[in-house]
């Protein structure tokens, strides 16, 4: 069985092809919109995605060496994400499903991040950290649902470091040669500036930290503020994760989402996993940020369990949370 998956929830338009036997991922092609300045404007991103979509679909099929008639379904990431951007991918997916008479499979973007992580790291019943631009979630799979044990109460860790480096003039781009600008800046700092550290149980809050750090740049060295912001934010996540580990007794940690590419976070997670004697698995950079392969693979799992959606009902779902999705393969 083979599924073509389309990712179009935010900055990246991606298409991947997954199959139900090794090597599982046959292709993974993407193009990420990077604004010249400022944040992402949904209209601009949508235009970018509609321009690149045809070539990316063709390229993903040709790299996989399959024809569209030979795939068994079209998976589409219906949410969560930005409405105008989601609609571009959904329109492409509906058109392909209709023209080639294939089932359309509704995929939650977060479930895609998690399932590609579980597949490619061969993880076994892990505590999952889903860390991305829009989410900071600590979750476990239990009785057909990803149960959320902890999350950010406001903005996500990834979004927080992006906004900070942008506001102080270090970005975009946010990442250069695999390294986030917060790390480039923090490596030149050493002194800890006092900033708010907010953990409530297993939940975290990053918005006060962001505001205080931006304010601190007025009377402290920028490198020291970057260093302090990064250390405090990551330590908050480590504390919440450690608490979730002791509550659940899990023996493995799996990190997924764009922030999983962070080398400095890995160093802290290495210490945590060593101290608690658990195995640490981190999704590879290719599958950390948004990509079509993760949607194709989650779509494949869903299709195998009979999940599909009628075109007329395939509305985009900008606020779709992972715990709303039934997980029949648990
Ligand atoms: N090397 C890196 N170190 C730290 N953060 C990184 C790195 N590479 C990417 N990121 C961060 O990952 C985030 C993007 O991840 P991803 O593409 O999964 O997010 P998203 O799709 O926007 O959010 P969501 O999955 O919640 O909808 C951004 O905040 C980006 O700065
Ligand atoms: Mg994402």
SS3 of 101, please?
coil
Do 88 and 51 share a structural domain? yes
Predicted confidence (pLDDT) per residue in 115-136, tens digit: 999 999 999 999 999 999 999 9
> Is 191 part of any domain?
yes
pLDDT in tens, 223-266: 999 999 999 999 999 999 999 999 999 999 999 999 999 999 99
In a domain, 294, yes or no: yes
**What ligand is nearest to the CA atom of residue 289?**
1
129, 8, 136, 145: which is closest to 79 by C-alpha?
Answer: 8
Domain-located, residue 307:
yes
Q: Which residue has the tokens 């024809």?
A: 67
* pLDDT above 90 for 20: yes
What pLDDT is recorded for position 53? Answer: 98
- pLDDT exceeds 90 at position 193: yes
Ligand 1 atom 2 nearest Cα: 262
Q: In terms of DSSP bridges, do strands 145-151 and 175-176 run parallel, antiparallel, or are they unpaired?
A: unpaired
**Residue 73 sits in the same domain as residue 141:** no
- Tell how far the Cα of 260 is from the centroid of ligand 1, in angstroms: 8
Q: What is the pLDDT of residue 37?
A: 82
Considering only CA atoms, which residue is closest to atom 6 of ligand 1? 259
* Domain that residue 82 falls in: 2-113+290-324
Q: Specify if 226 maps to a domain.
A: yes
Q: Is residue 94 part of a domain?
A: yes
Nearest to 64 by CA among 16, 8, 10: 16
Q: Are residues 101 and 203 in the same domain?
A: no
Q: Which residue's CA is the closest to the ligand 1 atom numbered 15?
A: 258
Q: Are residues 173 and 233 in the same domain?
A: yes
Taking the centre of ligand 1 as the mean of its atom positions, its distance from the CA of residue 258, in whole angstroms, is: 3
The pLDDT of residue 178: 94
Model confidence pLDDT, tens digit, residues 173-184: 999 999 999 999
Q: What is the CATH number of the domain that holds 71?
A: 3.30.420.40
Question: How remote is the CA of residue 1 from the centroid of ligand 1, in Å?
Answer: 30
Do the beta carbons of residue 117 and residue 107 sit within 8 Å? Answer: no
Of all atoms in ligand 1, which is nearest to the CA of residue 174? 31
Q: What is the pLDDT of residues 264-314, one digit of tens each?
A: 999 999 999 999 999 999 999 999 999 999 999 999 999 999 999 999 999
Question: Is 282 in the same domain as 309?
Answer: no
Query: Comparing C-alpha atoms, which of 272, 290, 288 is closest to residue 280?
Result: 272
The residues, ordered by sequence, that sit 6+ positions from 161 with a Cβ below 8 Å of its Cβ are 174, 180, 182, 229, 230, 233
Mean pLDDT of 28-36: 94
Residues within a 6 A CB radius of ligand 1:
9-10, 109, 113, 132-135, 158-159, 162, 174-175, 178-180, 257-259, 261-262, 289-290
In a domain, 329, yes or no: no
The residue assigned the tokens 């790390």 is 183
| Ligand 1 atom showing the smallest separation from residue 262 Cα | 3
Ligand nearest to the CA of 255: 1
Helices within the chain (DSSP H only)? 42-64, 83-99, 109-121, 157-167, 181-186, 207-216, 222-248, 263-275, 285-288, 292-304
pLDDT in tens, 196-224: 999 999 999 999 999 999 999 999 999 99
pLDDT digits (tens, 9 = 90+) for 57-95: 999 999 999 999 999 999 999 999 999 999 999 999 999
pLDDT of the residue at 92: 98
Asked if 298 and 192 sit in the same domain, the reply is: no
Query: Probe ligand 1: pick from 7, 133, 178, 290, max atoms within 8 Å of CB?
Result: 133
Quick one: 91 and 205 in the same domain?
no
Same domain? For 147 and 266 the reply is: yes
Are 271 and 157 found together in one domain?
Answer: yes
Q: Is residue 65 part of a domain?
A: yes
Shared domain for 169 and 269, answered yes or no, is yes
Which residue, among 257, 253, 256, has the nearest Cα to 269 in the 3D structure? Answer: 253
> Closest-lying ligand to the alpha carbon of 285?
1
- Report pLDDT for 288: 97
SS3 272: helix
Residues 156, 282 within the same domain: yes
| pLDDT at residue number 39 | 81
Give the position, in ligand 1's atom list, of the atom nearest the Cα of 257: 18
Tell whether 330 is covered by a domain. Answer: no
pLDDT score of 268: 98
What is the number of domains present in the chain? 2
Per-residue pLDDT at 38 exceeds 90: no
Note whether 181 and 232 are same-domain residues: yes
């Amino acid at each position: 069985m083979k599924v073509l998956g389309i990712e179009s929830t935010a900055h990246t338009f991606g298409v991947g092809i997954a199959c139900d036997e090794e090597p599982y991922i046959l292709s993974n092609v993407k193009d990420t919109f990077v604004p010249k300045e400022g944040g992402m404007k949904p209209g601009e991103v949508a235009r970018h995605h509609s321009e690149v979509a045809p070539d990316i679909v063709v390229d993903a099929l040709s790299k996989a060496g399959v024809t569209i008639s030979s795939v068994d379904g079209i998976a589409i990431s219906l949410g969560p994400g930005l409405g105008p951007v989601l609609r571009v991918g959904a329109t492409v997916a509906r058109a392909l499903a209709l023209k080639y008479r294939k089932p359309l499979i509704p995929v939650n973007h977060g479930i895609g991040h998690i399932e590609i992580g579980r597949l490619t790291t061969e993880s076994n019943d892990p505590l999952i950290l889903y860390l991305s631009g829009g989410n900071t979630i600590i979750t476990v799979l239990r009785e057909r649902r990803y149960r959320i044990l902890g999350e950010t109460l406001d903005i996500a860790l990834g979004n927080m470091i992006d906004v900070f480096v942008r506001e102080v003039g270090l970005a975009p781009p946010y990442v250069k040669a695999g390294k986030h600008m917060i790390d480039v800046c923090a490596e030149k700092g050493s002194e800890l500036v006092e900033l708010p550290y907010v953990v409530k149980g297993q939940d975290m809050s990053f918005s006060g930290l962001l505001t205080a750090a931006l304010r601190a740049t007025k009377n402290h060295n920028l490198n020291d503020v970057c260093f302090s912001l990064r250390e405090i934010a990551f330590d908050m996540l480590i504390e919440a994760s450690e608490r979730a580990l002791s509550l659940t007794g899990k023996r493995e940690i799996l990190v997924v989402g764009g922030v999983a590419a962070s080398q400095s976070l890995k160093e802290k997670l290495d210490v945590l996993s060593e101290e608690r004697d658990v195995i640490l698995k981190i999704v590879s950079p290719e599958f950390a940020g948004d990509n079509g392969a993760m949607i194709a693979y989650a779509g494949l799992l869903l299709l195998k369990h009979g999940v599909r959606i009628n075109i007329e009902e395939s509305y985009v779902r900008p606020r779709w949370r992972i715990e709303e999705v039934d997980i029949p393969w648990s």
